[in-house]
Amino acid sequence: MSDFPFSIIGFDLDGTLVDTAVDLAAGLNHILRLAGRAPLAVDEVRPMIGRGGRHMLEQGLVATGGVPEDFDRLFDEFLDYYEAHIAVHSRPFPGLADALDRLDTLGVKTAVVTNKTEHLARLLLGDLGLADRMATIIGGDTLGRENAKPSPAPIHEMIARCGGGRTAFVGDSIYDVTAAKRAGVTSILVSFGFLDRPAEAFGADHVIGHYDELVLLLETL
């Protein structure tokens, strides 16, 4: 029987498991073109990611002249475009597959809690061969938008679905760190994610710079 100190490891999706920035920026820039706006660079879009597509689109529109009255129509257009191009460039971050293999060998359940809609999260993870590796996938709309991160509710739900036990949550945003802290679980920040501030400013319990470090860190806690 494994003496590994954790039973459940939860992950955020965008900027944590998968580098989705190029595909998300393409979707945002598609809408900016429709609105007659100039496109944004991928590096400008990265800090806007983390609280769901609606928030990202709002931020992109604010940065290029303001949110128009037909925002809901533009958001629907964004969802249609993004769903059709969800994994053109998106790929798991280096070392992730090996880390998941190691956690699986140790009998640890892995799961996803994202502010992406559950439908899009399952589509992306399925396209990348990661969906079946997760004990559960919880999206930003699964429990209602009012219960998306930084609420601890989806992390509590993840733990319940996985059968309980000591848990750590891995993410790249203040929403991830806040949700983990409110849920009373260990928070781990990936410094290679879509950070909008220096890694030390997030207040996470621990920071890793590569997935090669994850299991080694967890073994010491």
pLDDT digits (tens, 9 = 90+) for 64-73: 999 999 999 9
Residue that terminates a domain, selected from 84, 107, 124: 84
As a whole number, the mean pLDDT across the chain is 97
R_g (Cα) of the chain, nearest Å: 17
For residue 1, being part of any structural domain is answered with: no
36 pLDDT tier (thresholds 50, 70, 90):
very high
Q: How many helices (H) and strands (E) in the chain? A: 9, 8
User: Do residues 140 and 210 share a domain?
Assistant: yes
Instruction: Say which DSSP state 91 is in.
Output: E
User: Do residues 104 and 184 share a domain?
Assistant: yes
Question: What is residue 2's predicted lDDT score, i.e. its pLDDT?
Answer: 66
> For the segment 80-126, what is each residue's pLDDT rounded down to a tens digit?
999 999 999 999 999 999 999 999 999 999 999 999 999 999 999 99
Cα–Cα dist 167/180, whole Å: 9
1 pLDDT tier (thresholds 50, 70, 90):
very low
> For the segment 116-162, what is each residue's pLDDT rounded down to a tens digit?
999 999 999 999 999 999 999 999 999 999 999 999 999 999 999 99
According to DSSP, the residues that pair with 109 across neighbouring strands are 8
Domain range for residue 64?
A: 21-84
Q: How many domains does the chain have?
A: 2
- The bridge status of strand 186-190 relative to strand 18-19 is unpaired
User: Do residues 13 and 67 share a domain?
Assistant: no
User: Do residues 115 and 173 share a domain?
Assistant: yes
Q: Which residues are catalytic?
A: 12
CATH number where 38 lies: 1.10.150
What is the CB neighbour count within 10 angstroms for residue 1?
4
By the 10 Å C-beta count (0-12 exposed, 13-18 middle, 19+ buried), 128 is classed as middle
What mean pLDDT do residues 45-64 have? 95
User: Do residues 57 and 104 share a domain?
Assistant: no
